[in-house]
């Protein structure tokens, strides 16, 4: 499954986090992200009717996007999201049971970690990448210390207040990509604003990768 994640990350190493999205918004917002170059999207499970949104996006985009669930906290949720077409499980924490359940169902799993110890525990359990969370607490210099000891094969994805102003610093420190929440999507934004955000962030990422 690492190869599957790498396939989508190679096109654009950004994960769109659609926290708070409704099923009625989901397809149009996902289309806007796709048009801007995004190929990975997650719907956090604390959103309204998240399984419905996941199913709608997965049906619309099939293999064109890696669609998943975020804020997955329990093993039973892993099977629920897979049944709706999700292939990606993202968590804010390092829950070995959730990681192992995801691996058993052949899903890409990205647990959250706030320390190198948590990151190593997640990798040992089978994680395909690590969500470095919350990035507000983990500066680029701290991330560089992580990167010095964590295997290069393990992707590190900072999440939390990431936008066009700080991508380059984290990238140069060893980030493999980013999860984007509020800088990309908020429930009260218009579709035009979301599309503009997506385009700006995708351009910033492409520029950063050339540094």
CA 190 – CA 25 distance, rounded (Å): 10
**CB-hemisphere CA count at 13 Å for 107?**
30
Do residues 154 and 181 lie in contact, with contact meaning Cβ atoms separated by under 8 Å? Answer: no
On the question of a cis peptide bond just before residue 47, with omega within 30 degrees of 0, the verdict is no
- Terminal CA-CA length for the chain: 28
42 is catalytic: yes
Catalytic residue among 3, 31, 131, 186: 131
Catalytic residue among 31, 42, 76, 136: 42
Number of residues written out for the chain = 211
User: Which of the residues are catalytic?
Assistant: 42, 131
């Amino acid at each position: 499954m690492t190869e599957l994640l790498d396939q989508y990350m190679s096109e654009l190493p950004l994960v769109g986090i659609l926290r708070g999205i409704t099923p009625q918004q989901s397809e149009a917002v996902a289309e806007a992200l796709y048009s801007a170059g995004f190929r990975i999207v997650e719907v956090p499970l604390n959103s309204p009717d998240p399984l419905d949104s996941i199913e709608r996006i997965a049906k619309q985009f099939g293999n064109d996007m890696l669609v998943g669930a975020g804020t997955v906290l329990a093993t039973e949720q892993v099977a629920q999201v897979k049944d709706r077409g999700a292939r990606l499980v993202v968590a804010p924490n390092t829950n070995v049971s959730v990681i192992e359940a995801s691996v058993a169902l052949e899903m890409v799993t990205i647990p959250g970690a706030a320390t190198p110890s948590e990151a190593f525990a997640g990798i040992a359990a089978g994680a395909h990448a690590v969500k470095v969370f919350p990035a507000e607490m983990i500066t680029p210099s701290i991330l560089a210390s992580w990167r010095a000891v964590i295997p290069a094969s393990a992707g590190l994805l900072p999440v939390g207040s990431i936008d066009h102003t700080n991508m380059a610093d984290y990238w140069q420190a060893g980030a493999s990509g980013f999860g984007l929440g509020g800088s990309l999507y908020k429930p009260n934004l218009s579709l035009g604003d979301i599309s503009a955000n997506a385009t700006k962030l995708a351009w910033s990422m492409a520029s950063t990768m050339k540094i």
